Every structure is written in structure tokens, then in C-alpha cells.
Amino acid sequence: MLFLLCASALPLGSALAQDVPRAGAYEAIAPFPRAEMREVFAAGFAAILDRHMERALPSDLITWGLAGFTANDPGLRVERLGRELRLMRGRRALSSRALPSDSTRGAPEAIGMVAAEALMPFQEVAWAASPSIRGLGRDPLLRASFNAIFGHLDPFSRYVAPEEAQLARDRRLGQGSVGLRLMVQRGQVLVAAVTPNSPAAGAGIRVGDRLVTVDDEMVFANDLPGAELLMEGAAETEVTLVTQRAGRRRSATLRRVAQRVETVTAETRDGVLHLRVSGFTALTSAQVTGFVEAAFAGANPPRGIVLDLRGNRGGILTQAVAVADIFLDGGEIVGTAGRHPEANRRYGASDTDLAQGRPIVVMVDGRTASAAEILAAALAERGRAAVLGTATQGKGLVQILLPLPNGGELQLSWSRIVMPSGWPLQGAGLLPALCTAGGAEAAAGALVALRAGQQQPMGAVLARLRALRPPVSALEASALRESCPGLDGVEREVDFAQALVTDTTAYRAALMR
């Protein structure tokens, strides 16, 4: 079906197909990496047209991509007049061409290639005309172009450069560790903990040592995640750390060792099982299952469960679903909705509640996101758990990773999370029944009201939340979130959770209706 797209595009010799300056004017300039750019954009455009949850036209991708490509040079701008696209410097058109057809009949790969071919002449002229664009290099230009496109589509899709993508693949295949945890103190990156018998311990690194560089890269206190990312890598690879203690610097080359990522911890407090889930990896549901089965196998099973999801940024969707299944007795858990047929799914629960119907309180905060929100909302929606804390982040989109020819990836939003009753997580997030955003005193007052069996303090807000239907306006989402702003935890929050899960009247009053 390629001809359907080419038929409406004017030949390069037509009145609209003009590039200024003419060929030969930039002979001393490094050549534009046309072949690589074309292949990456063709694959990326095909993926977006086929799988992104929002519909985009080929002409939009070309226009937005070109605007991102030229954004680093304020002297350049992109104009679109109907089917004509222009690259301008001041009043002068450096390039003016007709856009290809917006027909989406045919294979996405063919359509993506036609769109990429139409983009290349504009990018080549911009490359030749702008030293600042040439100075960026290929990956920053690809990132700028794709991020400009995603700026029109959704807030979570992004281009992942080859090096970053490889690190992520290494982590998924088998993350290695040197046995260090970091912290920031007095404007410095310090060692917060050293795992016994780890490579770091063997090298003599101690708690309190200052971390100076990782593989010759300086680390900075305002970018602790960046420092942690530098230390990550595949098992059996090496990393060189420079640390400082008492003014003396030491260099150590450590071999990363395979590690089992523990995302779940458990303890029992006064007959209540407290489960802390920090993320969702391939092993999370198995870890939760193990703790719950062990707790309920004894002669004195827990009176209830506190599931702490504060600070949990998410992870694997199916693992969040699997953890919800542990506590549900049949029925639908959650659904996803998107344009692509495979993006529309319904996830159901099995018939066994491993917690035997005991009360569950889920703790959330403003950093609870994505898969963690899905778990909390699924349990709340079914009336299986009461939620305590603050508004969650409101990330209710599902991403897939699609490889690109240069070794990079597109992290593409292809579906929305929809709860069984129809309300979406994206935007507003999940709101708690017992809000702690007002501080300990206000939370204590809300708990007293719940214990008295009075109308739930957040009842009206929760009813508005469940009445939402996509798309949700930013204004509406913001208004709901302001009822319990997404802050970090407050003093005594765990005590409030313990009290709520053990008070039958308060717990029942806090369940979502």
C-alpha cells in the first residue's frame, strides 16, 4: 500500500520542493547521518502509528519531530500551512515541501518509512544550516525529536538512548551489585550501608566514606539516582569507584555479583502482619505469597494486614495484578484500554484469598505510582482494603518497550488503566479514605469519626473519584487531588494504619463504597 502515501506527495522538483541554500554550499560540513536517522525514525513512527494509545497522523509526526530537531537553534522555526511544511530562518524559507498523505491504510512499517523519508530533507537542511544542531550529535537530536512528538501525545512515553537501554536490559536480564547503598549528607554522596561479604566490603569500603567518582564519572549530591545508576550493571562486569575517607582518596575496581532483588519485607506487630513492598519485579508476587502463607499457616494467624506502598514507583503490571489476586476471591481486578487490539485486556482473580478475609489497610503517598497505584486501587475498588495516606501520583498508563535499529528503545504508552467500575487512574490517581495530608492531629480526628461510624470524611470525594470517566481534565483531576495533596508520610502514620486495621467499625467505615 506504499503507493497510497506516495501518490499525493509532490515530486522533489515541484514548486513546493525547494531547499535553500542549494547543494554544494556546505561541502566542509560533517555529513548528516541520514541512513541511521531514517531507519530509527521509520521504526519509531511505525510503532507510534500502530501502538500508541493516542491516534497521530503521519503529517503530525513529521511536523512535531522537525520542531524538536530544530528546538536547539532559536533562529529556526517550523511553519505548517495546510499540506505544506516549511523550515524558516526569519522570513526566509530554508526548505519548503508538501507533506505526504495522511492515509493510514497499509502496513505501519511502510507508512513509517514514507514519513521518515519526508522528514529527512528538512533535517538535512537544518543540520547544514545550524552549527548548534550539528554540535548535539545523533542521540540528543533523536531524543529531542521523539520527546517533542510525545509532548503532544502523553507525559510518559520517551526515547531511550542505546547506552541507557543496554543498562536497562542488563538489569532485566540479571542485575549485578557491589553491595553499597548511598545517601546524601552535608552536600556529599556518602556510603549509607555496606552489605556483608559483598565486593564493596571486601575492598574495605565503609559506611560514611564519600563517593567521589564511578568509572571516572563525578557523582553529585543533587543527582543521587544518577550516582546509583552509574553503579548498576550486569553481573560479572567491573566498576571502578573512588572513595574518600579522612581526606585520603582510594580507588577500587569491583566485580558486580548477581543479586536477588528483594522488594518485600515483613514483620508482625501486635498480631498484625506488616508487608512493605518497594517495587514490582518478577519475584514480588512470589515473595508476598511466601510471607502471607507463612503467617497464616501458624496457630495464631494475623488479625489483619498493613500493606505499605509508600514510595513505591511501580514496575511490572502483571506482578501488581498477581499481588492483588493473593487477597481477592474471584472477580475482575483491573482492565486496560488502548487503540491496539492487544492493549485491551481484563485481568481476573482466582477463587482463593490467602489472607482469609482478614482486614487490609493499604498505605500510600504522593510517590506511590503506576503498578503500586493499580494494586491499591484494585483492592479498594473491590472493598477488600481501606486506603490510608495521601493522593497517589496518578500514573495510570501502561508502557511497552519497543526496540529501535540503533539499539535504543521507545518506551511507549499504549493503554490506560481502567478500574472495573469504569474510572481511570490517570490524572487524579487514588485518594485515601483516611487522609494524613493535614498532619497527625487531623488524621487522628478522622480516625475518631470513622470509629464512631459517622459518614466517611472522604466519602464525597471518593464518590466523585469513582464517577470519573476518561478523558479526565487536568482541572478536574487537580481539584480532586487537592482534597488530600500527595505528600510524604506524616508522624505516626503506621500507628494510624495499625489502629484502623484492628478497629472493626472504623475499618468498615473506611471501605470504598
User: In this predicted model, what pLDDT tens digit does every residue of 294-318 receive, in sequence order?
Assistant: 999 988 999 999 999 999 999 889 9
pLDDT band at 330 (very low <50, low <70, confident <90, very high): very high
φ/ψ of residue 242, rounded to 5 = -110, 120
pLDDT band at 260 (very low <50, low <70, confident <90, very high): low
> What mean pLDDT is reported for the chain?
89
Q: What is the pLDDT of residue 108?
A: 95
- Reference 81, options 69, 64, 70, 96; nearest CA is 96
Q: What is the pLDDT of residue 171?
A: 57
Task: Note whether 87 and 122 are within 8 A (CB).
Answer: yes
| DSSP, res 343 | G
Counting residues of the chain whose pLDDT is more than 70, the rounded percentage is 91
Rounded Cα–Cα distance for residues 46 and 52 (Å) = 10
φ/ψ of residue 313, rounded to 5 = -85, 0
Q: What structural domains does the chain harbor?
A: 2-153 (no CATH), 166-258 (2.30.42.10), 264-314+353-395+425-510 (3.90.226)
User: In this predicted model, what pLDDT tens digit does every residue of 51-101 receive, in sequence order?
Assistant: 999 999 999 999 999 999 999 999 999 999 999 999 999 999 999 999 999
Whole-prediction pTM value? 0.75
Q: Encode 72-89: b = buried (16+ Cβ within 10 Å), e = exposed.
A: bbeebebeeeebebbbbb
User: In this predicted model, what pLDDT tens digit does every residue of 98-151 receive, in sequence order?
Assistant: 999 999 889 999 999 999 999 999 999 999 999 999 999 899 999 999 999 999
pLDDT at 424 over 70: yes
- Reference 98, options 117, 114, 118; nearest CA is 118
pLDDT band at 174 (very low <50, low <70, confident <90, very high): low
pLDDT at 386 over 70: yes
Q: Please classify residue 241 by burial: count the beta carbons closer than 10 Å to its beta carbon, then call 0-12 exposed, 13-18 middle and 19+ buried.
A: buried
pLDDT at 281 over 50: yes
User: In this predicted model, what pLDDT tens digit does every residue of 1-12 receive, in sequence order?
Assistant: 222 223 233 333
